Amino acid sequence: MTASTLRRVRVPLPLSVAAAVVAWLVAWFANLPLANWLAFDVLRLEAGSHLGEAVAFFLLDTPKVLLLLLGVVTVVSFLRSFVEPERVRRALAGRGTLPGTVAAASFGIITPFCSCSAVPLFIGFVEAGVPLGVTFAFLVSSPMVNEVAIVLLWGLFGPGIALAYMAAGLAVAITSGLVIGRLGLERYVEDYVWTIRAGSAMPTFRPTLADRLHDAWRSTADILGRVWPWVVGGIAVGAFIHGFVPTDLVVSIGGSGNPLAVPALVAIGVPLYSNAAGTIPIVEALLGKGLPLGSALAFMMAVTALSVPELVILRRVMKPRLLAVFVAVVASGIIAIGYLFNAVAA
Amino acid sequence: MTNIQVLGHGCENCKRLEANAREAVAKAGIEAQITKVTDDPGIMAFGILSTPGLVIDGKVASYGRVPSADEIARWLKA
């Protein structure tokens, strides 16, 4: 009996899915009592003390966020295997500017975005006659409004801020798309893009339900494997801030009294791309210490929306001028959102 | 002889797809030649919108996902 013959014995699919769901639910409901028991009974920390609260926060939030990521990313990956970019493109090509831009930004929420796919996507969209502005609306919203960010926001801040982030992200994507569309920048797309005669392919083989589940599980394991150290690190730093950093310090640096706080946070956020999972828990703690909501949102949006690796890849299809306009328009949109939320909240 | 092409710029998923394709060829017990297409015009000529893509004998078998070796072996035998 070798490992390979053992592997042939397959557990029926519905059974393994049901087992996974039950295991997830058990872990979810055991989390709070377990965290409290560990912090206050096993480690004998004092409830209400700086250290006790910091440790309890860490023990509660780390499993909570990782479990949420595990569950939501699996479900989202599975569901979106049914959303084919080919269909999205066809739906976007034949629309007017405004409905097309809004639709593109909304599609950006559900479609996966991998910066290594940005180039084929861009060429494919432009080739099929999707206007440049509409294409940009998609390029902006797709990485910004992604499931990892939404899960972290929902888990750590609650639905209100997660939805505010989503709405703000859509607003920035739609506005950027409309502005870039109006500027008529087609000549700053690399010339070869217009000469490519792209075929139109539909995959020959359709994945089965089991294939899709396998895919979803695989990509979830991938994503979690990549982000978990950042999540744990981010929550550890967040827990420290919760317990020890004085509120006055945060308010004096990032508060609405400092007019340069929003642009400064955006400038810090751009290079932090791969750390979206690590920055959100830290922002959560800073928010609790008096960082205004607008500043916090702007910072998180800058982390997810603009990234250096993505810009390097997009340079292959865009001349520097177009790339610069792209960064400037998106960054201005994010800064505007920051000021707006700060003004409304104040 | 089956002609297999892996389309992609060389990201993690593309490497995994290539490895899966090699495993699938061994599993299916067929003769196949696996080549990589890494340049944009070459990739786009197949009309795919997201990488990695898998092309078997000139036909796009899948794109935007990494099919498992078992799945690819099934296609190779089809």
> Is the CB of A207 inside 8 Å of chain B's CB atoms?
yes
ipTM: 0.77
pTM for the full model?
0.82
Q: Do B51 and A117 touch (CB under 8 A)?
A: yes
The pLDDT, as a whole number, for residue A119 is 82
Number of domains in chain B: 1
The one-digit pLDDT tens for each residue of chain A (346 residues) are 444 444 455 678 888 889 989 999 999 999 888 888 888 888 888 777 778 878 888 888 889 889 988 998 899 888 888 887 777 888 888 788 899 999 999 888 877 666 667 788 888 888 888 899 999 999 999 888 888 888 888 888 889 888 999 999 999 999 999 999 999 898 999 888 887 776 666 777 788 888 888 888 888 888 888 888 888 988 888 888 877 777 777 777 766 667 888 888 888 887 776 567 788 888 888 888 888 888 888 988 888 888 888 888 889 899 999 999 999 999 999 999 999 988 887 6
Element (H, E) at B59: strand B59-63
In the set B11, B26, B44, B45, the catalytic residue is: B11
The pLDDT, as a whole number, for residue A123 is 86
> Is the CB of A205 inside 8 Å of chain B's CB atoms?
yes
A12 by DSSP, 3-state: which?
coil
The pLDDT, as a whole number, for residue B4 is 94
CA distances for A196 relative to A41, A115, A121, A313, B42, angstroms: 66, 20, 13, 18, 9
**Nearest Cα residue to A329 out of A108, A172, A98:** A172
Q: Higher confidence at residue A253 or residue B17?
A: B17
The pLDDT, as a whole number, for residue A114 is 66
B7 by DSSP, 3-state: which?
strand
Domain residue limits at B53: 2-77
The pLDDT, as a whole number, for residue A118 is 79
Task: Flag whether pLDDT at B19 surpasses 90.
Answer: yes
Active site (annotated) includes residue B42: no
The angle formed by the CA atoms of residues B37, A210 and A23, to the nearest 5 degrees, is 120
> Which positions in chain B touch A114 (Cβ < 8 Å)?
11, 13, 50-51
> Is the CB of A4 inside 8 Å of chain B's CB atoms?
no
How large is the average pLDDT for residues B23-36?
Answer: 91
CA distances for B23 relative to B4, B11, B20, B68, angstroms: 13, 19, 5, 9
Residue A313 Cα, gap to closest chain B Cα (Å): 10
Q: Do B61 and A205 touch (CB under 8 A)?
A: yes
Task: Flag whether pLDDT at B6 surpasses 90.
Answer: yes
Q: Say how far apart CA A154 and CA A269 lie, in whole Å.
A: 20
- Give the CA-trace dihedral at A79, A82, A86, A88, to 10 degrees: -50
What residue has token string 């990589």? B36
> Is the CB of B19 inside 8 Å of chain A's CB atoms?
no
| Number of cross-chain residue pairs from A and B with Cβ atoms under 8 Å apart | 94
Contact call for residues B14 and A114 (beta carbons, < 8 A): no
> Is the CB of B27 inside 8 Å of chain A's CB atoms?
no
Residue B48 belongs to domain with CATH number: 3.40.30.10
